[in-house]
A and B are shown apart, each in its own frame.
Chain A
Amino acid sequence: MKIYLEKTYIIFDRELRGYFRTPLASIFLLVFLALSSGMTFFLGRFFERDQADLTAFFAWHPWLFLILMPAIGMRLWAEERRSGTIELLITLPVTNMQLVVGKFLASWIFTLIALILTMPIWVTVNYLGDPDNNVILISYIGSWLMAGAFLALTSCLSALTKNQVIAFIISSISGFVLIMAGFNLVLSSVRSWTPTWVTETIGSMSFLSHFSRIQMGVFDLRTLVFFVSMIILCIWINVQLVQIKKAD
């Protein structure tokens, strides 16, 4: 077990450092900070709302992640397959599960770093007023969980192709579908011709509806279970896809 985790950690470590080996990481973090604060302060009318909370900040996260998470995760498997290094990985004494988990965790921790770097916004709110910090903490956790689901999905889809750009595009489109699943417009168009349980299942798959509950400070088990099982499911599919597509 110890060795099992050790190997996963070595994969994780290489991958996480990989983000910082090129200027890409710093560029990404800057873009993330600029967009998240820009959207909060300008598009989100942070000041006009005259309310000391971070609702405006978190409200943009699903849309921000829709682009940024595929950008972080697109290379995870597509690049291994393009460069042929997947042959090295798979002939090492490790399981595909260790490889997939290690790589996924690296991208997830990288997003955690990005989220932590937005702390100044939180400090600002506390300086300006008296926000409910519990809600903010729950929102941060929820945001990170949602990012994890996006990343697991991206990692899984990036095993389908050798081309990072294609991985990016299919991941964004899939993410978009998962966000939209919660909108009434979508649901009502499906409702008319499917049984209720289908509509409800689709509705419950929506990232948006789960995330909006979190944003209000409601952290129920269902939401936690939803994002975690989404991550686990994607990781499992990812392992299968690596197995199927490795030699193509």
Chain B
Amino acid sequence: MQLIKAKGLCKSFGDFIAVDNVDLEVSRGEVIGFLGPNGAGKSTTMKILTGFLEPDSGDILINNIDLKSDPLKAKEFIGYLPEGAPSYSDMNVLEFLTFVGKMRGLKSNLLRTRLGEMANQISLKEVWNKPIETLSKGFKRRVGIAQALIHDPDILILDEPTDGLDPNQKHEMRNLIKTISKNKAIVISTHILEEVEAVCSRAMIIANGKLLANETPANLEKQFANKDIITIKVFNKINDVLAKNLKSSLNYSNIKIEKLDKDTNRILVSDAKKAPDLNAVLKQVNKFKLNIIEAGFVKSSLEEIFRKITTTNASS
């Protein structure tokens, strides 16, 4: 079931178009990774989805409730971590989370349970009674996450949830997102691409306010595979003679054989002039009766894909 359905979102600030006709659908169980260069419009889109900003045009259904016509009802389903994780610095963690919980309509029993769960799940126990202004950046961010989660919402919108966390905390945060994602629809924005690979079921790449890609990380990798280099992994020992024969039988200028471990090798085929033909190469390699484990084009890393997508768009 789709918990977020947004169509044709546009938002300008003066002459500047920050969000340009963005569509977005998120189902229960999905984690969407929102990627894009600085100023791409990620935060602005998130502000629109949470009802903080009204879009110039476009419609948003939150759990099938129209955000524009019934904002109070729609907002109940959303937990939101704004960019920079703002909070009331003069309150302590308990006071702040209690305030948000009450505003979210949690009655005292449930509120107490949820506070306990937050303290454990997000490891806030040690700062529970400290004023938020005295907390480190990482703890402030975690308080922000707890605030977004306190009413156990169906929809979570987290603007850079792991920004400012140390590697351990980043890891914990990703695990947390993964565990809670089963029965929620989650949108996170991030600049860390490995995070998308680690937790997201879909990556949405946005630049200059436009949605440029909306794919699973695996599909993106396939789509942006590097068609110039073929890689073939074989479960065989390859001695010098075999290597020489392989090289002469393959009609390409650049053939490398890498030893991966005792019994497996990788053959990399590329050519300075033309893109190699995967079928032809496989046919040749098969003649040597090798055990092929894996064959295909070399994948680009998500980072390369990101750079490719966002820079080609910027120049066009």
The chain A residues found within 8 Å of chain B, CB to CB, are 3, 7, 10-11, 14, 18, 21-22, 83-85, 87-88, 90-95, 246-247
Which one of A11, A85, A93 contacts B75 once the chains associate, using CB atoms below 8 Å? A93
Can you show 30 pairs from A to B with CB atoms below 8 A apart? A7-B103, A10-B99, A11-B103, A14-B88, A14-B91, A18-B90, A21-B90, A22-B90, A83-B86, A84-B82, A85-B86, A87-B47, A87-B52, A87-B80, A87-B82, A87-B86, A88-B80, A88-B82, A88-B100, A90-B52, A91-B50, A91-B52, A91-B78, A92-B75, A93-B72, A93-B75, A93-B105, A95-B72, A247-B52, A247-B53
Q: A83-B86, A87-B80, A247-B47 are in contact. List 8 more A-B contacts (CB 8 A).
A: A3-B105, A7-B103, A10-B102, A10-B103, A88-B80, A88-B100, A91-B82, A94-B103
* B37 CB contacts on chain A under 8 angstroms: none
Pairs A-B, 7 closest by C-beta atoms: A84-B86, A87-B82, A93-B75, A91-B50, A93-B72, A85-B86, A21-B90
A21 CA to B73 CA, complexed, in Å: 33
B147/A88 in contact, CB under 8 A: yes
Residue of A nearest to B85 (CB): A84
* A90 CB contacts on chain B under 8 angstroms: 51-52
Q: Please count how many residues in chain B sit with their CB below 8 Å of the partner chain's CB atoms.
A: 27
Chain A contact surface mostly: helix
A170 CA to B25 CA, complexed, in Å: 45
A14 CA to B98 CA, complexed, in Å: 10
How near does chain B come to A102, taking the closest CB pair, in angstroms? 10
A25 CA to B89 CA, complexed, in Å: 17
A80 CA to B105 CA, complexed, in Å: 22
B91/A83 in contact, CB under 8 A: no
A14 CA to B88 CA, complexed, in Å: 10
A18 CA to B53 CA, complexed, in Å: 27
A88/B78 in contact, CB under 8 A: no
Residue of A nearest to B80 (CB): A91
